[in-house]
Structure 1
């Protein structure tokens, strides 16, 4: 990676395996889900902007075991995104947030290549980091997305739903009445236009969401639930809602305590 002060560094968008929070005994080698080029790029970086410093250090330990690091873990410069980006996201342009992002990218102006990383998967997709990417473009830095797992795309491909027209809508409301209204809005859009609707939930609320979907959705709407993608307990289930309800066994065998992606459509 370039360290010359004569030329600005680049911003690398570094995907990570989707097993964040899995015990080390169950975690797979990063080479199972990240190609050699991605691991080589990650191993050569020493400056990071991250969603969570602890998970980034854990990721770098795994890279080190596979590929080695350009600097020891103690010598890695890891800066966390502000808490507001975690809680509210940073996908919408904001003058204050974008100015802070420029500050975090200051090492790149000194010639250091930098990595942007989230807890799992691709940064800035269903995770914070968009403000950093916007700032990098505004500063004239080269932005390099690296190859790795993206749970939303894996789920869409595995769902059997429309992959030509789809939308990721983030989280649905937690409150029951608001959630029901939002689910009906998304279902109406999906059935009228054929656009697949993709959403997620915090794992400890996955069961409640799935129960609400089965209660709210039309019997002939297709519902796909993709749990623990790329993990040892991965389960992908896609069926019409009336088939989900048969035998009252919809929840059986689904690891709903793991990250999940929900999709609805025709």
Structure 2
């Protein structure tokens, strides 16, 4: 499905990124395997490298090149895209997958923890997508595949920085879909649930948490790769502005924010009338304070 395509995958030394890079290459894509080769919190070196994934792809008969530039800085992100263009002559899809986590309860979160996570996830998505936009416009086509999270679109505890960045990616992705549609460029989000370095941080202190973690262990990162390959291919030419969730054998089309219920008062509202009537009418439609684990509570099949 991807013969002749050139795809950039960030955060591709481990987990979902690595699985995506291998699957894209198996489908015929030439892959730029990007990874900064750092630990999960972004503070130290990792043993897994982009070069190792490139070797795996080449050993299987595919084409790939490694990139060690950071997505968090614009000039560096430009170099990633130029690596694709200079090496293979074009770029057809970007998989914005790079990320770090620094999980803490909100009252313990530091500005440095917040900034570091937002820079890699949200700024990284913007930086790389913006760097690719010129190429997409010139060739009248391209695909932006942006990894969000159920922690963001539904909610989770201890991840305020991560949730803010990942939900920001949903808004950014929709804006890019709208702005770039005139150039046949599509932009979609995937909220994956799979066992990777990111999910290793999920606590398992209670019996309920332990059961949740055990479910996720069954869902390898390779289960996300087919959807990434599809969105990178011409088969998805009419698919844009969507948010998909995936876990094991299930693919979900996620809702996006729309009005749920309204109340009207012809003479206008006061704080008192809002308290007495407005909220009383709306309360039945309030969203519950759920976490993603509570929403996806059944066993995957």
TM bucket normalised to smaller:
0.3 to 0.5
TM-score for the superposition, normalised by structure 1? 0.36
Between 1 and 2, higher relative CO (CA 8 Å, sep ≥ 6) is seen in 1
TM-score by length of 2: 0.33
> Relative to total residues, which structure has the larger strand share, 1 or 2?
1
